[in-house]
Amino acid sequence: MSRVIVAMSGGVDSSVAAALLLEQGYEVIGVTMQLWSADLPYGETAEDSCCSLAAVEDARAVANELGIAYYVLNLHESFRENVVDYFVAEYLQGRTPNPCIVCNQKLKFNRLLDKVKALEGEFVATGHYVRTEYDSAAGRWLLRKGLDSTKDQSYVLYGLTQDQLGASLFPLGGYTKVEIRKLAVRYGLPVASKQESQEICFIPDQNYRRFIDEYRPGATKPGKIVDDEGNILGEHTGITNFTIGQRKGLGIAAGVPLFVKAIDPLHNEVVVGPAEAVFTKKLTASKLNWIAFNQPDREIAVEAKIRYAAQPAPAKLIPSGEEVEVVFDEPQRAVTPGQAVVFYRDDLVLGGGIIERGNE
């Protein structure tokens, strides 16, 4: 009997993942990674977030219902160093990071795999809506989108290595969310009707500026809002208030609607322009991870997704050393440095990286 460690957040998805694996004959152990706490400096968690005390209690209740062993793993310090510090540093550089991607790479499929070894397990499992398979001809693990296109989470898992994919199970990948809800009821899970939490777990009010000001006092400073020619149109209270494509909250009056086109941390300026100024056909990405193959050595056709909620768009991928240039068939709105760009071919994840800049 294979032993699997299930990352349990106290939500419906991870709870059903544990139940399904148990039903399939695995020896299941539940683990909740306590990443953030209201007791920490600057700590604040929503009652229904994956980091809250209530989440631990819900996960423990599910483990008791299923009759499986359950542990809480304290990763406060690791989460602060790898995720929160990174999040704040990126915003202070005028970039817009996705902390969930880093959390998956550094903690859920890194530190949790260490726990698997400590508990003499074979696999780690999560409630992500993705699918994996082994390509024996290529000798590689493949990552595919989840069957439910409205819940697919492959975008945030593009950074998984071959070793991590080979040691991971994703039992929900072939189900829809509706089916998972029904399974939760059938299994009699106490979280069957629990609603999902959408916010970043350590900033439940979504007020990034407040959090950054409290976490790094004095790091944000007022500056100028300018146009492409350097004309001063107004002032801002800190570049952390802005992201590419933003229109609201600029605090300036103009004859046409203006949008954030670029953020210049060196000069502490926010550059704005008309609506068409936030569209681009090119981007450059680095910190690449390839899943379906080794790093490409020639131009290839891909579908590129520039943010979690975006639709993949046809593009050409052109390798250039440690970076790639992505040239879209059609201009894309608000290509944002710090966000991930993930490359697909139909439902297959080819790989991805971090957007360094949008090119004119």
- Per-residue pLDDT tens over the stretch 12-62: 999 999 999 999 999 999 999 988 765 555 555 545 555 567 889 999 999
Which residues have a Cβ under 8 Å from the Cβ of 255 and sit 6 or more positions away? none
Q: Which of 54-68, 197-211, 280-294 shows the lowest mean pLDDT across its residues?
A: 197-211
What pLDDT shows up at residue 202?
85
More confident residue, 196 or 130: 130
100 is catalytic: no
What pLDDT shows up at residue 305?
98
Q: What is the pLDDT of residues 301-311, one digit of tens each?
A: 999 999 999 99
Annotated catalytic residue within 50, 51, 100, 201: 201
Which fold is adopted by the domain 279-359?
Answer: Elongation Factor Tu (Ef-tu); domain 3 (2.40.30)
Annotated catalytic residue within 50, 51, 100, 103: 103
| Second-level CATH architecture of 3-186 | 3-Layer(aba) Sandwich (3.40)
**pLDDT > 60? residue 358:** yes
More confident residue, 39 or 223: 223
Is 279-359 in the same CATH topology as 3-186? no
What pLDDT shows up at residue 67?
97
Mark out the alpha helices in the chain (DSSP H runs).
12-23, 53-66, 76-79, 85-92, 99-103, 112-118, 162-166, 177-186, 208-215
What pLDDT shows up at residue 94?
95
Which fold is adopted by the domain 221-273?
Answer: SH3 type barrels. (2.30.30)
What pLDDT shows up at residue 39?
56
pLDDT band for position 117 (50/70/90)?
confident
What pLDDT shows up at residue 204?
80
More confident residue, 204 or 191: 191
**pLDDT > 60? residue 271:** yes
pLDDT band for position 152 (50/70/90)?
very high
pLDDT band for position 242 (50/70/90)?
very high
Average pLDDT, rounded, for the chain: 92
- DSSP-derived secondary structure for 238-269: -GGG--TT--TT-----SS--EEEEEETTTTE
Mean pLDDT of 248-268: 92
201 is catalytic: yes
Q: What is the pLDDT of residues 316-355, one digit of tens each?
A: 999 998 999 999 999 999 999 999 999 999 999 999 999 9
pTM above 0.85, yes or no: yes
How far, in Å, CA of 316 to CA of 247, rounded? Answer: 30
What pLDDT shows up at residue 205?
82
pLDDT band for position 112 (50/70/90)?
confident
What are the extents of the domains in the chain? 3-186, 221-273, 279-359
Percent of the chain with pLDDT over 70: 95
**In Å, how far are 127, 297, 310 from 16, measured between CA atoms?**
8, 41, 27
First-last CA distance in the chain = 56
3-state secondary structure 131-179: EEEEECCCCEEEEEECCCCCCCCHHHHCCCCHHHHHCEECCCCCCCHHH
12-23 and 177-186 helices cross at what angle (nearest 10)?
70
How far, in Å, CA of 280 to CA of 266, rounded? Answer: 23
What pLDDT shows up at residue 198?
65
**pLDDT > 80? residue 236:** yes
